[in-house]
Amino acid sequence: MKLITEIMEEKALPIVDKIYNDGFIQGLIRADLSEKAVEHYLKADALYLENFSDIYAILLAKSNDKVEKNFFLGQINFVLNEEIAAHKNLADYIGREYQEIIKGGEWYPSADHYIKHMYYNAFAFGMAEALSAMAPCPWIYKMVARKILANHNLAEDHPLKFWVEFYADGLVDEVLTEYYKIINREAEFMSGEGKQRLIKNFLESCEHERRFFNMAYTQERWELEV
């Protein structure tokens, strides 16, 4: 019998191709992604990652396992202090100072909807539900980055090669292994309805990932502003 996480990934595979073929990733591959798209992405993603780390803190408090707590602590550090390297690569690509870009960070519609999807599952349910909503973040980036490397021999001086290799790295596999360990463990004690919720969470977040990239590419904004 397949693990619930295997089912989740299989069902989500088609959206990996869609994200790969969308404008943001194709522009990244060609190194002609617009400055406005990159700026929009960084403003939104900086806020997103801060809140992603806050959700890890919620899960840390929910866990009774010391190993899991240390994992969540490590991920908080990674998200806040290490993933910034990929962001700075994008900032360097457009010749801008990273901190100057993100000080004007905003919650655009797609990013706002995405993070609330995660918060809802973290507060309303257990760790498995929260992690099933969070897992597409590392999973989509890993899959797209590896697809880029499989299909393109990026030149050493490609300005965004670091970004691609950062997310294609095996470290993402280690993170997902820990996610999936918890999800599969908890799923064993769930009803059919509970398992379907895990799958639904994962698939919805994969769609949110696509919308996030497209949000940046089109510079999506709220139609009505305060």
Which is it for the CA torsion 66, 71, 77, 80, positive or negative?
Answer: negative
Q: What is the number of residues in the chain? A: 226
Using one digit for the tens of pLDDT, what is the confidence trace for 49-63? 999 999 999 999 999
Give Dmax (Cα) for the chain: 52
Structural contact between residues 71 and 179, judged by C-beta atoms closer than 8 angstroms: no
pTM (whole model) above 0.85: yes
Each residue's pLDDT tens digit, 118-157: 999 999 999 999 999 999 999 999 999 999 999 999 999 9
Helices (H) and strands (E) in the chain, counts: 12, 0
Residue with the two structure tokens 């997103």: 48
The residues carrying an active-site annotation are: 137, 209
pLDDT score for 129: 98
Instruction: Count other Cβ atoms within 10 Å, centred on residue 11.
Output: 14
Query: Has domain 4-218 been given CATH number 1.20.910.10?
Result: yes
Task: Give the start-to-end residue ranges of the domains of the chain.
Answer: 4-218
Q: What is the rounded distance in angstroms from the CA atom of residue 165 to the CA atom of residue 162? A: 5
